[in-house]
Amino acid sequence: MARGGHDRVIAVHHEASGLRAWIALHHLGHGPAYGGIRVLNYRSEADALHDALRLSRAMTLKCVLAGVKGGGGKTIVMAEHMMDRSEAMKALGREIEALGGLYQTGPDAGFTAQDRIDLSSETSHAAQFFSSGELRSGGEATAEGADHGIRAALDFLGTPEVSDISIAIQGLGSVGMALAKRYLAAGARVFAADVNPEAATTAEEMGVEIVAPAKILEVSCDVLAPAALGGTVHDLSISRMNTRIVAGVANNVLGHAQQAELLRQRGILFLPDFVLNAGALIEGSGYSRTGREDWTEEIAGIGKTMREILERADAENKSTRIVAEQMAMERF
């Protein structure tokens, strides 16, 4: 079925395994839909559907601004209903395979290495960047792209030397940890927080200054990088921020779109997530189309796009999110 501007929205139910999921394909006019599988607990079917719709739409914007020939997709699996996780992922794989390549998927929050194995046993439409043991993780590619975007913003503000800045990272998953390593290597002061004590300990041993998760968004820093789940940048957290840049590394970091304007009014530069975190999309979709492994030049283009957004937002006195969406529609 089509809903809310989406080309296709599919409800998936597999009684034997307890699988309950939504597959949302936002736009199929320019190529396949790209987007990961998120496995989380949700309060209701409606909440899960809402997440699928908003995340798949953001993926279309990401594809357009990253120059990827395709549209946005997303799968949301309601984790609390699964009775047999392995069979649930196999059933989901069969649903994706039945789409005949319209949807190319990959990992998202809550999706595990075992999930990948089970899913891939039933479908060939899993993004190569995470299913091939020869390539680096999607987290590393995402961190590389985010680094280019952050450096473009620092240069825009007149701070080109990364060794002179501090960055606070919320979440030390595959992306957050890779980002922390990059900025430690560049000589920056790195703060971070994670609810997983093992991740925090690993980062601390690397030289990261660990902060309590409840305080990370309040750290005095040059760059604040939410790299966990979305929705953490909201009215209350914005009022407590002490940073020059909010870098949207996670998907949909804003609680609602208007908070980009609130950040602008506070003099905080917001780097839209659907621009900043496109590195894995560029690398994964590119490899699946061509077999080429090196997408360094294309990922570096994230910095150029971000600079264009920042300059245009400044000239037009608009939030960076509004300008980024306008640019996506113009290119679309």
pLDDT tens column, 255-279 = 888 999 999 999 999 999 999 999 9
pLDDT digits (tens, 9 = 90+) for 148-163: 999 999 999 999 899 9
CATH of 8-126, one of 1.10.10.10, 3.40.50.10860, 3.30.60.50, 3.30.450.20: 3.40.50.10860
- Across the strands, what pairs with 223? 167, 245
Structure tokens at 231: 């929705």
Answer whether residue 221 shows pLDDT above 90: yes
pLDDT digits (tens, 9 = 90+) for 24-51: 999 998 899 999 999 999 999 999 999 9
pTM here is 0.89
What pLDDT is stored for residue 136 in this prediction? 58
pLDDT digits (tens, 9 = 90+) for 125-179: 986 543 334 455 678 999 999 999 999 999 999 998 999 999 999 999 999 999 9
Q: Which one of the listed residues 62, 69, 74, 90 is annotated catalytic? A: 74
- Domain definitions of the chain by residue range: 8-126, 138-331
Identify which of 147, 149, 136 has the alpha carbon closest to the alpha carbon of residue 184. Answer: 147
**Percent share of the chain, pLDDT over 70:** 95
Cα 282-2-248 angle, rounded to 5 deg: 35
CATH architecture designation of domain 138-331: 3-Layer(aba) Sandwich (3.40)
Mean of the per-residue pLDDT values for the chain?
92
Average pLDDT rounded to a whole number, residues 83-109: 95
pLDDT digits (tens, 9 = 90+) for 82-92: 999 999 999 99
- Is 62 one of the annotated active-site residues of the chain? no
Average pLDDT rounded to a whole number, residues 57-65: 94
Cα 9-14-16 angle, rounded to 5 deg: 170
Same fold, 8-126 and 138-331: yes
62, amino acid identity: K
Query: 197: pLDDT confidence band, cut at 50, 70 and 90?
Result: very high
Distances in Å between the Cα of 306 and the Cα atoms of 125, 247, 274 are: 30, 11, 11
What pLDDT is stored for residue 170 in this prediction? 98
Q: Is the dihedral of CA 296, 302, 308, 311 positive or negative?
A: negative
